[in-house]
Structure 1
Amino acid sequence: MSKIYVLDTNVLLQDPYSIFSFEENEVVIPAVVLEEVDSKKRYMDEIGRNARQVSRLIDNLRQTGKLHEKIPLENGGVLRIELNHRSFHQLQEIFVEKTNDNRILAVAKNLSLEEETKEDGRKVVLVSKDALVRVKADAIGLHSEDFLSDRVIENDHIYTGNLEVYINVDLLNRFYEKGELPLSEISNHPFYPNQFLIMKDALGSSASAIGMVDPREKKVKKLIFDHDHIWGIRPRNVQQTMAMELLLRKDLPLVTLIGKAGTGKTLLALAAGLMQTEDFREYKKLLVARPIVPVGKDIGYLPGEKEEKLRPWMQPIYDNLEYLFNVKKPGELDAILAGMGSIEVEALTYIRGRSIPEQFIIIDEAQNLTKHEIKTILTRVGEKSKIVLMGDPEQIDHPYLDAYNNGLTYVVEKFKDQSIAGHVKLFKGERSGLAQLAADIL
């Protein structure tokens, strides 16, 4: 039996095409939702863009029929703008204030009560990204769901980029000698391109080796940059060794790194970018950028020129650069960067419309980017450029994103089958014992 899905405003603002995600069911948009969408369309950010896109989609559907009646959708379902069922009588003793959330709940509840009086009454489900709205719905006996169609993964099954395999010690010895092994001799398990394999002795000895999957030759091969160091930075654990391999490989124009705070993502990426830009001259410029998303309450507008405004947002990048350059005095880093001229620290606000060839690009805190924003960034990458996306999907400050639907997770999952991309998830914190403990238990 078909269902009636009542959509909250945040579902449309998260994914304008969500109205097509409910198969052969009826999708209902309360009139108050249109009012909320209209109030957001003037925003010059992702929410404003989505609000305008929703407006265009509904306007196009208007050409096929009357919105207050049932308009057929491409997926077999129907869409209706709900103008009636706005009575607050059922909820006035429970929720006194007529807020927009409560008005949406009232519409869904009234529809549900109407369907219960019918012999073939359908189930009414309120769909919302707001946990408290779902809690309220449950409290008044209304079915509610989170909108999950925008999720790239379910639960905590994000691709890690590496896999432990147990093999015969003879195979390990042959890998030491030849530096490669056919994947067919290791396992029938399907492997991803450029996936790291931690090969261990099946009999339990301490013998082990790290290799990387070569998708073209269908072999696992020894790391090219194993036991190397970049700008005085040496990998402290096996995942950092893998990250260094990805960062220094010329045949991998896209690298994604995820991990908790203090796992070394930013420091390793900056060191690799500096070495390939300044020492080897493989790239013309090192471009470092991060999204402007505050943690907690925003402090508002900042005085000064563009560089002065960006400095507080980019300070984590400058902290790592000061460590790499061994800066001792205030202002010394600015003088170094001005003298080099090949390092650009930028906000992602200004990236649209650019073409970025022959540059080593680092995008920090990429978990705060939406799918649309991440696509915009990747389509800016020009010939002979390398881009590194990194962040922690568990530390998201964007109001409409979570660990399962953010842009960084989206890229990791969509590119894991591509031979031009490499990925690794870092687990162990190396900043300090305190930082690691805080990341684990807080």
Structure 2
Amino acid sequence: MKKKYVLDTNVLLQDPNAIFAFDDNEVVIPAVVLEEIDSKKRNADELGRNARQVSRLLDSLRAKGNLSDGVLLESGGSIKVELNHKSFSKLQEAFAELTNDNRILAVALNYHLEEQASGEPSPVIIVSKDTLVRIKADVLGLTAQDYLTDRIVAQSDIYTGCLTLQVHPSVIDEFYSYRFLTVNSLNLSYTLNPHEFVILKDELGTSKSALLKVNAEGKRLEPLFISNEPIWGISARNAQQRMALELLLNDEIPLVTLTGKAGTGKTLLTLAAGLMKIEDEHKYKKLLIARPVVPMGKDIGYLPGEKDEKLRPWMQPIYDNLEFLFDTKKSGDIDKILAGMGSIQVEALTYIRGRSIPGQFIIIDEAQNLSKHEVKTIVSRVGEGSKIVLLGDPEQIDHPYLDASSNGLTYVVERFKQESVSGHITLERGERSHLAQLAADLL
């Protein structure tokens, strides 16, 4: 039986191609959704881009017929801009205020009541990424769903980059004797990804263990190539941090992604590795550090001053880590050091479009606030001889239309996990302080 899907505005602003994602069912776009999309189309951000894309897609469908009557799609379904089911009378008893959300709910409710009065009612489903809209729909007796097509992977299945295996102690002994294992010798029912880390533990319960990494071809397990010596005064404090440094210091891996809760050391480890590669080994000519300008909480508005002065509040977390690495004593010392070095550049991602960035160690902090389109734009800027590192915590997203399963950082992790040019690790243990770890776990 065909279904009627009534789409909320946020679905189209998140994924303009959502109108084609409902197979052979009928897609209904309330007229108020077009008004909301129109109000966003002049924005210079991702929402504005998506609003313009939705407008172009709907305009192209006009060539096939009148949208108010319904236009057939190649999937066998149809799409319709609804003008005749907007009566607010049935909804007023529950929600009296004439908001745009309530107007969308009114369309869905009127469709639902009309279908119930017919002999063979079709299911009417409202699709929204707004939790309260779905709750209101439930109160009204309507079926409501989140839009899940844009999710890269279920949150519980997000790739961590590390696997723990219980094996017979003879397997661990074999590794220490020959300094490698073949993946086939483990007789796994699944495939290991290139540069994936494996912790072998004794299935008999002894303390015998080994830490290995899958090679670029995905066929051998080899020991980690770096020692645990300090890098710019920073040493790995746990196994995951050592794995992170293994990826960060490997010049054969041009794309590295690090995820983890606050305080796990993502930014500090990456900055230390970048400084080592630039200042000590001279592998890259510049360290470029950038982060999206997405506020937590209410935006403080426009900031006075030149570009660097405007960026300073947004980039302060980067400067805090640099001050720790350079062991500065006075306020302002880090600015003098960076000005004297000339090899470290701190930027906002606003200015990265159109650039080509060769021979640089690029760090993108807070990458969980990037959309799939934005992260594609950034990674595609990487030039010959550059290395890019994406950092972030998918659980701390300030972007209104993204979540742990649909953000750009998770997108890169999942799409590149089988590629030999990339490596990923999820840092689990906080090392900032005992209080910070408790806050990350309990709050």
TM-score bucket (shorter structure): over 0.9
Asked if structure 1 preserves the Cα contact closer than 8 Å seen for 2:240 and 2:425, the reply is yes
1:328 matched to 2:329:
yes
Root mean square deviation of aligned Cα: 0.9
Residue identity matched to 1:304 = G
Question: Which structure 1 residue ranges, 4+ long, deviate > 6 Å from structure 2?
Answer: none
> What residue in structure 2 maps to residue 149 of structure 1?
149
> What residue in structure 2 maps to residue 188 of structure 1?
188
- Cα deviations by residue, 1:285-342 (Å, 9 ceiling, x for unpaired): 0000000000101111000000000000000000000000000011111110001000
Tell me how far apart the structure 1 counterparts of residues 89 and 348 of structure 2 sit (CA, whole Å). 50
Matched ranges for 1:70-109 at <5 A: 70-109=70-109
Tell me how far apart the structure 1 counterparts of residues 441 and 267 of structure 2 sit (CA, whole Å). 19
TM superposition shift of 1:174: 2.4
- Report SS of the residue matched to 2:282: coil
Identity of aligned residues (%): 64
1:32 matched to 2:15:
no
Tell which deviates more after alignment, 395-404 or 188-197: 188-197
- Report SS of the residue matched to 2:157: coil
Residue identity matched to 1:358 = G
Tell me how far apart the structure 2 counterparts of residues 169 and 60 of structure 1 sit (CA, whole Å). 64
> What residue in structure 1 maps to residue 4 of structure 2?
4
TM superposition shift of 1:217: 6.5
- Cα deviations by residue, 1:65-89 (Å, 9 ceiling, x for unpaired): 1111121112221000001111111
Matched ranges for 1:14-33 at <5 A: 14-33=14-33
Tell which deviates more after alignment, 316-325 or 169-178: 169-178
> What residue in structure 2 maps to residue 300 of structure 1?
301
Matched ranges for 1:330-345 at <5 A: 330-345=331-346
Matched ranges for 1:112-123 at <5 A: 112-123=112-123
Matched ranges for 1:31-430 at <5 A: 31-189=31-189, 190-216=191-217, 218-430=219-431
TM superposition shift of 1:216: 2.2
Tell me how far apart the structure 1 counterparts of residues 154 and 116 of structure 2 sit (CA, whole Å). 33
Tell me how far apart the structure 1 counterparts of residues 375 and 184 of structure 2 sit (CA, whole Å). 36
Tell me how far apart the structure 2 counterparts of residues 307 and 433 of structure 1 sit (CA, whole Å). 34
Asked if structure 1 preserves the Cα contact closer than 8 Å seen for 2:289 and 2:365, the reply is yes
- Report SS of the residue matched to 1:48: helix
- Report SS of the residue matched to 1:156: helix
Tell me how far apart the structure 2 counterparts of residues 92 and 230 of structure 1 sit (CA, whole Å). 65
Residue identity matched to 1:323 = F
Tell me how far apart the structure 2 counterparts of residues 142 and 156 of structure 1 sit (CA, whole Å). 28
Tell which deviates more after alignment, 344-353 or 224-233: 224-233
Paired positions, count = 442
Unaligned runs of 5+ in 2: none
> What residue in structure 2 maps to residue 436 of structure 1?
437
Tell me how far apart the structure 2 counterparts of residues 351 and 74 of structure 1 sit (CA, whole Å). 37
- Report SS of the residue matched to 1:282: coil
Tell me how far apart the structure 1 counterparts of residues 228 and 396 of structure 2 sit (CA, whole Å). 31
Asked if structure 1 preserves the Cα contact closer than 8 Å seen for 2:126 and 2:143, the reply is yes
Residue identity matched to 1:348 = L
- Report SS of the residue matched to 1:243: helix
Tell me how far apart the structure 1 counterparts of residues 242 and 178 of structure 2 sit (CA, whole Å). 20
Residue identity matched to 1:318 = Y
Asked if structure 1 preserves the Cα contact closer than 8 Å seen for 2:365 and 2:391, the reply is yes
TM superposition shift of 1:64: 0.8
TM superposition shift of 1:215: 4.2
Normalising by structure 1, report the TM-score. Answer: 0.99
CA distance 1:91–1:48, change in 2 (3 Å): same
TM superposition shift of 1:228: 3.0
Normalising by structure 2, report the TM-score. Answer: 0.98
Tell me how far apart the structure 1 counterparts of residues 346 and 74 of structure 2 sit (CA, whole Å). 45
TM superposition shift of 1:117: 1.5
- Cα deviations by residue, 1:112-165 (Å, 9 ceiling, x for unpaired): 111112122211000000000111111111111110000011132211100011
- Cα deviations by residue, 1:238-258 (Å, 9 ceiling, x for unpaired): 000000000000111000000
Tell me how far apart the structure 2 counterparts of residues 202 and 298 of structure 1 sit (CA, whole Å). 53
Tell me how far apart the structure 2 counterparts of residues 324 and 369 of structure 1 sit (CA, whole Å). 27
- Cα deviations by residue, 1:165-184 (Å, 9 ceiling, x for unpaired): 12222221221232211111
